[in-house]
């Protein structure tokens, strides 16, 4: 996030898209609801489903799946045409505006309406509302990123924010909502195939040399590694022989699960490190028992870049170890001694080799977190990014045209599928489905359809149906809902017994490598 969670309550206008905020981020959603109900903020929600947060919205735009670039370009078209953009911000702090202006010129409200299904006047009204804010905040999540055009979607939202000068200010920003508290921290620490900690590129000779010296080796590889969506196909083709999975359950979470299962079966050696015996762990040659969050010391980095400490509450059971201890032991047995006495020592190393974490220490975050970047011990942290300038100097507008999803409904598969989370379960249910109370509330997978589709298909609540795509078939029960749009089904992806990702399309965003989970073509039929 460019801004803090607290900043949300300082916004005049909040735009939420690709985020079922009340279900997926219930605590954060309270900041949104307070901003609207107690502080007079206006709320725009853009989502194909009538999610609960729309109850608080001044404007709800229901777009066709996979058309986000089009409606964002439509908003920018109106803002530029009506001279509502922040000319001073654009002149002083950005580049590429003329090309953007040229590209969005054709995205008239009528043209955008044809693509998105959003009425033209609603596009105009939403554009005027967002552009009229002194402090406009954009919140988004995986409903934006999990498309073949996910990178384009994010860049388009950044375009919109820069167009109206909503970066570097309280109550503004472009704010991705992370799915779990330490997703941000994992990326910060180099949990990506192309960077070291602090997003230092592995292809940068200076960064490479610095890390080699810190770790006491002569050199380090300077080639970018594989994304997880590259690993599974590589295993399928026999190019990847061994795989080590930590805290992930790809046999439920990956797209095209039938393909994933076959690919993992091709491995010569498969290791899983986790706190439970997941569906994936059951296939492993070796399972390493890890400690849960409450059984270890360390740090977490929140969705708004706040680094804070977590202290062990109980000892891990049985043979379970801290993840870092397992990693160190394996490294040592393979010939590279990794001798850390505790998590504090690791944090000290992080501070030394990671510029954005340079001033973050256990002593400083013992009672209150610090937002990175905090490059020195004296630095107070950076709650709001880009106050005076962007990291690269001027922010770049990206002129982006709409590209349709990789797969659309047709005569054979006449409906669209989108997937998402429920309030009561997280991800593949590895932890939440160990809780009786949550299982009682949300015990099984369902297929959410509109009342009109229920009538068209002659089904009712509780009826068993089969949902099929070009990749697989699952069986679940019908749930009719006014949240649903006719012609589209929604399936939560938590349930291994009826895994929605047996249906989803493995087509990837060419930049991020993220699959298109949020739209594919399916058909529905009564179960035999």
pLDDT of residue 528: 82
Express each pLDDT in 485-516 by its tens digit: 999 999 999 999 999 999 999 999 999 999 99
Residue 267 has pLDDT above 90, yes or no: yes
DSSP state of 373: P
Q: Which two tokens stand for residue 166?
A: 């909503």
The pLDDT confidence band at residue 179, using thresholds 50, 70 and 90, is confident
Both tokens assigned to 79: 């803002």
Instruction: List, for residues 121-130, the tens digit of each pLDDT value.
Output: 999 999 999 9
Q: Are 148 and 504 in contact (CB under 8 A)?
A: no
Best CA proximity match to 123, nearest among 76, 56, 66, 175:
76
Query: Residue 352: is it exposed, middle or buried by C-beta count within 10 angstroms (0-12/13-18/19+)?
Result: exposed
Q: Could you count the other beta carbons within 10 Å of the beta carbon of residue 378?
A: 7
Ordered by where they begin, the domains of the chain are: 6-177 (3.40.228.10), 179-223+291-311+335-375 (3.40.50.740), 226-289 (3.40.50.740), 415-526 (2.40.40.20)
Instruction: Write out pLDDT tens, residues 180-209.
Output: 778 999 999 999 999 999 999 999 999 999
CB proximity list for 215: less than 8 A, separation 6 or greater: none
% of the chain surpassing 90 pLDDT: 98
> Can you name the residues that pair with 420 across neighbouring β-strands?
492
Q: Which two tokens stand for residue 509?
A: 């965003």
Whether the predicted model's global pTM rises above the 0.85 cut: yes
DSSP 73-127: HHHHHHHHHTT-S-HHHHHHHEE-HHHHHHHHTT--HHHHHHHH---HHHHHHHH
**Could you report the per-residue pLDDT of 286-297, keeping only the tens digit for each?**
999 999 999 999
Segment 146-178, tens digit of pLDDT: 999 999 999 999 999 999 999 999 999 999 998
Pairing of strands 488-492, 415-420: parallel
Residue 437 above 80 pLDDT?
yes
164 to each of 122, 170, 189, 263, 501, how far by Cα in Å? 19, 14, 33, 47, 38
Q: pLDDT by residue (tens digit) across 321-348?
A: 999 999 999 999 999 999 999 999 999 9
Question: ∠454-458-461 over CA atoms, to 5°?
Answer: 55
Span 42-79, pLDDT tens digits: 999 999 999 999 999 999 999 999 999 999 999 999 99
Task: State the sign of the Cα–Cα–Cα–Cα dihedral 62, 65, 71, 72.
Answer: positive
pLDDT in tens, 447-484: 999 999 999 999 999 999 999 999 999 999 999 999 99
pLDDT the model gives residue 240? 97
Return the pLDDT at 180: 77
Mean of the pLDDT values across residues 27-34? 97
Mean confidence (pLDDT) of the chain = 96
pLDDT band at 243 (very low <50, low <70, confident <90, very high): very high
Q: Percentage of the chain surpassing pLDDT 70?
A: 100
């Amino acid at each position: 996030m460019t801004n803090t969670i607290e900043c949300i309550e300082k916004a005049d206008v909040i735009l939420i898209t690709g985020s079922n905020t009340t279900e997926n981020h219930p605590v954060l959603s309270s900041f949104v609801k307070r901003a609207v109900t107690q502080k007079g903020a206006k709320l725009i929600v853009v989502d194909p489903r009538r999610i609960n947060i729309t109850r608080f919205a001044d404007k709800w735009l229901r777009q066709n799946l996979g058309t986000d670039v089009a409606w964002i370009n439509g908003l920018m078209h109106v803002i530029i045409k009506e001279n509502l953009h922040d000319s001073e911000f654009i002149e002083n702090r950005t580049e590429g505006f003329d090309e953007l202006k040229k590209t969005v010129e054709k995205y008239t409200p009528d043209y955008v309406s044809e693509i998105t299904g959003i009425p033209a006047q609603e596009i105009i009204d939403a554009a005027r509302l967002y552009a009229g804010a002194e402090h406009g905040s954009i919140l988004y999540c995986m409903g934006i990123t999990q498309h073949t055009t996910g990178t384009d979607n994010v860049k388009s939202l950044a375009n919109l924010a820069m167009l109206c000068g909503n970066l570097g200010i309280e109550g503004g920003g472009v704010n991705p909502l992370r799915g779990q508290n330490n997703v941000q921290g994992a990326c910060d620490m180099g949990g990506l195939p192309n960077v070291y900690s602090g997003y230092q590129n592995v292809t940068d000779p200076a960064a490479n040399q610095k890390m080699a010296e810190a770790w006491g080796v002569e050199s380090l590889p300077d080639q970018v590694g594989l994304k997880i969506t590259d690993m599974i196909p590589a295993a399928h083709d026999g190019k990847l022989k061994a795989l080590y999975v930590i805290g992930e359950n790809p046999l439920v979470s990956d797209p095209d699960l039938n393909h994933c299962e076959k690919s993992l079966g091709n491995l010569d050696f498969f290791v899983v490190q986790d706190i439970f015996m997941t569906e994936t762990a059951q296939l492993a040659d070796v399972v390493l028992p890890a400690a849960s969050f409450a059984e270890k010391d360390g740090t977490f980095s929140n969705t708004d870049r706040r680094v804070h400490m977590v202290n062990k509450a109980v000892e891990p059971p049985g043979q379970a170890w801290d993840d870092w201890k397992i990693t160190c032991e394996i490294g040592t047995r393979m010939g590279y001694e990794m001798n850390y006495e505790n998590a504090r020592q690791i944090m000290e190393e992080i501070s030394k080799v990671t510029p954005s974490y340079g001033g973050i220490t256990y002593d400083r975050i013992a009672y209150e977190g610090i937002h990175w970047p905090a490059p020195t011990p004296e630095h107070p942290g950076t709650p709001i990014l880009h106050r005076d300038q962007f990291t690269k100097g001027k922010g770049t507008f990206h002129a982006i045209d709409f590209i349709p999803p990789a797969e659309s409904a047709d005569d054979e598969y006449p409906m669209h599928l989108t997937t998402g989370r429920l309030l009561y379960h997280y991800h593949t249910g590895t932890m939440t489905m160990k809780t009786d109370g949550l299982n009682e509330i949300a015990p099984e997978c369902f297929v959410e359809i509109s009342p009109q589709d229920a009538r068209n298909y002659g089904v009712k609540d509780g009826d068993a149906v089969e949902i099929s795509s070009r990749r697989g078939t699952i069986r679940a029960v019908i749930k009719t809902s006014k949240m649903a749009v006719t012609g589209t089904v929604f399936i939560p992806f938590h349930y291994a017994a009826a895994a929605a990702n047996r249906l989803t399309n493995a087509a990837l965003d060419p930049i991020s490598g993220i699959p298109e989970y949020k739209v594919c073509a399916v058909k529905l039929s009564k179960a035999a």
